[in-house]
Structure 1
Amino acid sequence: MHVSLTSLPRPGGRNEDFAIASPECAVVLDGAGTPNGLPTGCVHGVAWFAQRLGTLLHREAVESGRDLARCLSTSIEGTAKLHQATCDVGSPFSPSATVAVLRSRGQDVEWLVLGDAVLVLDDGREPEVVTDQRLARVASEERAALRTAGRGLRGELAAHTALVEAERAIRNRPGGYWVAAAEPEAADEALMGRMPIAQLERAALLTDGAARFVDTFALGTWPTCLEVLEHHGTANLIGQVRDAERSDIDLERWPRSKTHDDATVIFARF
């Protein structure tokens, strides 16, 4: 597969997304940050975690030949071992990430999605969109409180903190939601599939910051998104997202938890 990628931090911030791609495999991770003041138990930070996990996962997927869930499980365990001597990897506020993987293997293309990363598969008809929205279905009261909190006030920070605390209390637990943190068994909860490579024309892997193009700002449909990526490039898509974010600094037209987000997209052609 032929791949192109762009990964940009939110303006003024450090990029907590991570992307890595080769002709055989593409990997996108979206590291989960926390509001200022919440202890994470990790001295390294979310960006470090996403980079280490993504690098291990890509290597496992390319070199091991095992199914993608086992590759992810091994990578989660390996990343935890890298910092368990210095950090509280068992803390619910320790770094975590959503994951999307696409791998070309023999005559097939295999994929895995854990968390609300987005994978779009286009066979020339209606694109298939794969994402896990279990996180969006938890902590509904705290999520509603954040939407009504005063923008730019301390009340907004308090509401965001309350939401994160409620979410992390059920992270990687039955009835909650699943992401890549320090529990290898979370890989068993990933969405997975495969299809003949001859049937797939193009694909995209996006963090939720880039998926705002469709999900938040409705700048186009998923077929439109693929057309932008093919004809104008990955940076153009993120640029359109940034323009929309800047046009709604007060979060009034498009309610969301933060003005800007890290944005990453990989586009693959077959």
Structure 2
Amino acid sequence: MRLALGTSPSGPDSENEDFAAAAPGVAVLLDGAGVAGAETGCVHGVAWFSGMLGALLLRTLAARPAWSLVECLADSIRATRSLHEDVCDLGYRASPTSTVVAVRARDGLLEHLVLGDSSLLLVQRSGNCSVVTDRRLDEVGARLRGAVDELPTGSPEHAAALAEYRDALTSLRNRPGGFWIAGPDPLAAEHAVTGAVPLDSLASVTLLSDGATRLVDRFGLASWDEALAVLDSTGPDELIRRTREAEDSDPDGRHWPRGKAHDDATVLHWVLS
């Protein structure tokens, strides 16, 4: 297999809270999240959480081929929790969480799991591509965003509206009628979007955090086919560069309303043929 990985923090002085890694036949991508402006209740922080969970998940996927992806994620969440529940307040509303995308090649199939608003791009040898995304967070967010999208990104008014929005969003985290994301509760794994496709039908598999899908799904400056062409020709770094260029052209979010002017962006592109 041939892998290309690109990642970029939201800013030069910001910690990258995305995590991506691969081993033979397996790959994971996580996008960590907290509540902006709030203490997390975790002395380690969001980047530690997404990195630790990602590393444990990668190991479990490779070491436990008989386990389902849901079982692997639940076990990894449980193991991550055990590493810091004695020193961190994991019941706190702003405790770290993370999206998860995981794939594993096994028994002639490409198994996949998506939890939260990161995405998986599956490209067939025929050239057809499909995107697997957990839309529940987007659907809940659309109901709550209100003034967030009407105010200039980065303004004091926008910051206040964003804090109110995130507080409302947090109240619906890992609840029926809300959305599901990896946090301290292993049961969240049971709500992941899962599936499998024949491995020999695929040309490539791409895992993307939502900061790297903006060019397509928020800005509308490229189709998935065009994004794939960039990945195949010049790689993940170029796709991220184009995303940053678009973000820089609209710093106050007037043209493309969004919570953050820039976001951590990560792409793992796995070429199978």
TM-score bracket for the superposition, by shorter chain length: over 0.9
Q: Is the 8 A contact 1:3 1:23 kept in 2?
A: no
Q: Is the 8 A contact 2:144 2:169 kept in 1?
A: no
Amino acid of the structure 2 residue aligned with 1:82: L
Cα distance change, pair 139–239 in 1 and its aligned pair in 2 (3 A): closer
Report the secondary structure of 1:243's partner residue.
Answer: helix
1:40 aligns with 2:40: yes
Cα distance change, pair 151–263 in 1 and its aligned pair in 2 (3 A): closer
Tell me the CA shift for residue 153 of structure 1.
Answer: 2.8
Alignment of 1:62-101 (within 5 A): 62-65=62-65, 66-101=67-102
In structure 2, distance between residues paired with 1:249 and 1:187? 36
Tell me the CA shift for residue 22 of structure 1.
Answer: 1.9
Aligned to 2:31: 30
Report the secondary structure of 1:155's partner residue.
Answer: helix
1:193-232 deviation line (CA, Å, top 9, x unaligned): 1111110111111000000120112221111111110111
Report the secondary structure of 1:138's partner residue.
Answer: helix
In structure 2, distance between residues paired with 1:144 and 1:60? 41
Percent identical among aligned pairs is 44
Q: Is the 8 A contact 1:18 1:51 kept in 2?
A: yes
Aligned to 1:156: 158
Amino acid of the structure 1 residue aligned with 2:206: A
TM-score (structure 2 length as normaliser):
0.95
Aligned-residue CA RMSD (Å): 1.3
In structure 2, distance between residues paired with 1:113 and 1:55? 16
Equivalent residue pairs, number: 269
Cα distance change, pair 198–128 in 1 and its aligned pair in 2 (3 A): same
Please point out which of 188, 200, 205 is paired with 1:203. 205
Tell me the CA shift for residue 61 of structure 1.
Answer: 0.3
Q: Is the 8 A contact 1:210 1:238 kept in 2?
A: yes
Q: Is the 8 A contact 1:2 1:23 kept in 2?
A: no
Tell me the CA shift for residue 35 of structure 1.
Answer: 1.5
Larger mean Cα displacement after TM superposition, 150-159 or 12-21: 150-159
Q: Is the 8 A contact 1:97 1:180 kept in 2?
A: yes
Aligned to 2:17: 16
Tell me the CA shift for residue 151 of structure 1.
Answer: 4.0
Tell me the CA shift for residue 141 of structure 1.
Answer: 5.3
Gaps of 5+ in 2: none
Amino acid of the structure 2 residue aligned with 1:159: A
In structure 1, distance between residues paired with 2:103 and 2:4? 13
Aligned to 2:167: 165
Gaps of 5+ in 1: none
TM-score (structure 1 length as normaliser):
0.96
Cα distance change, pair 84–200 in 1 and its aligned pair in 2 (3 A): same
Aligned to 1:59: 59
In structure 2, distance between residues paired with 1:210 and 1:140? 20
Please point out which of 163, 186, 189 is paired with 2:188. 186
Please point out which of 212, 219, 226 is paired with 1:217. 219
